[in-house]
Structure 1
Amino acid sequence: MKMLKRLSAVAAIGCALSVFSLNALANSKLHEKYNALLDKHVVTIDGGASTQVDYKGFKRDQSQLSSYLDQLAAVPPRTFDSWDQNTQLAFLINAYNAYTIDLILTEYPELESIRDLGNFFSSPWDKEIAPLLGKSRSLDDIEHNLIRGDNKYSEPRIHFAVNCASVGCPALREEAYVGERLDAQLDMQTKRFLRDSSRNKIENETLYLSKIFSWYKGDFEKNWKDTNSVFEFILLYKDAMALSSAQVDLIKNGTADIDYLEYDWSLNDTKAAAKN
């Protein structure tokens, strides 16, 4: 029923918005509602290293989130294709994150993890919950086909921008992504994530990294800014991790060990944090 209502709303909005007006909205204006929600319901913690999400607040403002998702769904493929790549990528990252929040709200507060929304036969990331760019899509489709597929964007930093609603994830950014500032936003997200010693750190001769670097290792081996390995990518952000010259040499020489930390799938919710 919810999907039918959204499709009806999409049709109405699609009739009202011309290709010209959608192009005009392509950057910050299209994402204004979402930006306001993030500003209101995402809380910065740990000196800016991460964030928590006030899902109770999002639940109160769910109609505004739904209105934003209807706007995204009303964008036709031909309009999306006319945008520059940064505007496209910002759109897709925002869509992934906003639909993830919307998915959490379907069962909130009666869940402890996004994985509670799956079952033995399918994962929450397989559910077709997002009418986007002409078809119903799952979160996996948005991430692995639209964002990562065919190496169209060749952007490993997206892994610090897409958010799976879990404590182990990189921070949900407290503002919407926009094409004109995307490079700076992705760079800040990468530094923020690597600066967080609960997720990435070096001790003695071992790099302890988030499992993101293991799961998506191949994305860090595609010559982005002349980097072809996780080690080389980390060295680009050595200042964020506060690496000493000796530690840098250890990584450069390939003699550092690497260990991947356990991923915390518990819901990254301000309510849960308040209990601890």
Structure 2
Amino acid sequence: MALSGNHKAGRVTVFSVPGCSQCLQAKATLQALNLPVCEVDVSHDAAVQAWLDKMTGSSTVPQIFFNNVHIGGNESLQKLAPKELEALVRMVNEKPLPPDALPVPAGNIPITASELSEALRNLIMKLYSDHLSADGKSVDYSAMSKSSCYERYCELAVYLQRVELLSLTHEERLAFFINVYNALVIHGYLRLGFPTNMWQRYRFFNYVSYLIGGEVFTLQDIENGVLRGNRKGIAQLLKPFSKTDPRLQVALPEAEPLIHFALNCGAKACPPIRTYTSNGIVRQLRTAAEVFLEADDGCIVDSVKREVKLSKIFKWYKEDFGDTDEK
């Protein structure tokens, strides 16, 4: 795994816990300085937490180290005088990590969202190729759950909690959340089983979630909150994100209608399962739309009756395709 940001001589180490607003603010400040940030999650390791308490004399997070220099928490970071901060940044940029720098527990070197998405994408591609049906519309969940590749996927998915979402470009955000959505659906089915009625389906898509970048994202949040620009979902009374919800910052500025040809919720009418990359994402989505419409489920032309029947997707999400019930 690689450090986030460009390669530097030294390192900034941030000891934190998921969902901590002070930790997120500190990381955002450090990443804005283009520093290599190594985040260590202490929430699940009492030994690391005790060790940190002893080293710093504090039980709060974050605790921040520039190489071997402990500056304290987020408040201390924000209050650094410009010259002090400049000196610390220069030290990290120019001086290698000293021998007496705090050791980082194994497995705590984070990777960027793009790197993680790529790694998860590669695992999903492997799982798809091994367990996907010939038509690309269904998965052998039983066989997949016993796969060593699936075990590795579960291990890697834990790192989603550490990714930095705000640094993603529009294209990276599209590819990242489409891939994560499709993977989360499969992960949810493997853990909880396939919903068999409307109530189970409602609960599944509103409760199955990943912790991404310190925030919880359900399937509804990803589809309607992020990828549809924070629009109400089917049978939803409210938008996924309120005006004060921090997740609103990662929502697309407006709905991307092409996602409906990429997201697969497990229903028979859904598009085939594929994975996407940020490079050429729009072209990939257009191709997915063309493939979907060429299939019988997507578009049926009756030349005798002079009728064209489209998938229900166009009715369910007509607002995204340019129509609305609003007057």
* TM-score, reference length from structure 2: 0.54
Give the letter aligned to residue 60 of structure 1.
K
Determine if the alignment matches structure 1 residue 157 to structure 2 residue 258. yes
* Whole-angstrom distance in 2 between the partners of 1:24 and 1:172: 20
* Whole-angstrom distance in 2 between the partners of 1:152 and 1:40: 36
What is the aligned partner in structure 2 of residue 54 from structure 1? 140
What is the aligned partner in structure 1 of residue 310 from structure 2? 209
What is the aligned partner in structure 2 of residue 85 from structure 1? 170
What is the aligned partner in structure 2 of residue 65 from structure 1? 153
Change (3 A) 1:29 1:103: closer
- Residue aligned with 2:296, SS: coil
Contact 1:85 1:153 in 2 (8 A): no
What is the aligned partner in structure 2 of residue 178 from structure 1? 277
- Residue aligned with 2:173, SS: helix
Which of the pair has more CA radius of gyration? Answer: 2
What is the aligned partner in structure 2 of residue 28 from structure 1? 118
Q: How many residues align?
A: 199
How far off is 1:136 after superposition?
1.9
Give the letter aligned to residue 223 of structure 2.
E
CA RMSD of aligned residues (A): 3.0
Contact 2:160 2:210 in 1 (8 A): no
Change (3 A) 1:130 1:71: same
Contact 1:161 1:189 in 2 (8 A): yes
Query: Which one is further off, 191-200 or 51-60?
Result: 51-60
Change (3 A) 1:154 1:127: closer
* Whole-angstrom distance in 2 between the partners of 1:23 and 1:137: 15
Give the letter aligned to residue 204 of structure 2.
P
Determine if the alignment matches structure 1 residue 16 to structure 2 residue 106. no
Determine if the alignment matches structure 1 residue 218 to structure 2 residue 218. no
What is the aligned partner in structure 2 of residue 126 from structure 1? 206
* Whole-angstrom distance in 2 between the partners of 1:91 and 1:117: 28
- Residue aligned with 1:149, SS: coil
Contact 1:200 1:209 in 2 (8 A): yes
How far off is 1:65 after superposition?
2.9
Unaligned runs of 5+ in 2: 1-42, 49-104, 231-251
Q: Percent identity?
A: 27
What is the aligned partner in structure 1 of residue 227 from structure 2? 147
* Whole-angstrom distance in 1 between the partners of 2:168 and 2:321: 26
Give the letter aligned to residue 291 of structure 2.
R
Give the letter aligned to residue 67 of structure 1.
E
1:130-186 residue CA offsets vs partner (Å, 9 max, x unmatched): 21232222211111001112552542110011111111111112xx21101312321
Change (3 A) 1:213 1:14: farther
Change (3 A) 1:197 1:51: same
What is the aligned partner in structure 2 of residue 138 from structure 1? 218
* Whole-angstrom distance in 1 between the partners of 2:106 and 2:300: 47
* Whole-angstrom distance in 2 between the partners of 1:82 and 1:13: 25
Contact 1:34 1:68 in 2 (8 A): no
Q: Which runs of 4+ in 1 moved over 6 A?
A: 11-14
Specify which structure has the bigger relative contact order, considering alpha-carbon pairs within 8 angstroms and separated by 6 or more residues: 1
How far off is 1:197 after superposition?
1.3
* Whole-angstrom distance in 1 between the partners of 2:117 and 2:218: 23
Give the letter aligned to residue 220 of structure 2.
D
Give the letter aligned to residue 213 of structure 2.
L
Contact 1:117 1:124 in 2 (8 A): no
Unaligned runs of 5+ in 1: 1-6, 222-227, 230-276
How far off is 1:90 after superposition?
0.6
- Residue aligned with 2:183, SS: helix
Contact 1:26 1:87 in 2 (8 A): no
Give the letter aligned to residue 182 of structure 1.
I
Contact 2:207 2:218 in 1 (8 A): yes
Change (3 A) 1:160 1:66: same
> Which has the larger share of helix?
1
1:74-113 aligned at under 5 Å gives the runs: 74-75=162-163, 79-108=164-193, 111=194
* Whole-angstrom distance in 2 between the partners of 1:215 and 1:81: 30
* Whole-angstrom distance in 2 between the partners of 1:159 and 1:13: 40
How far off is 1:25 after superposition?
1.4
How far off is 1:218 after superposition?
0.8
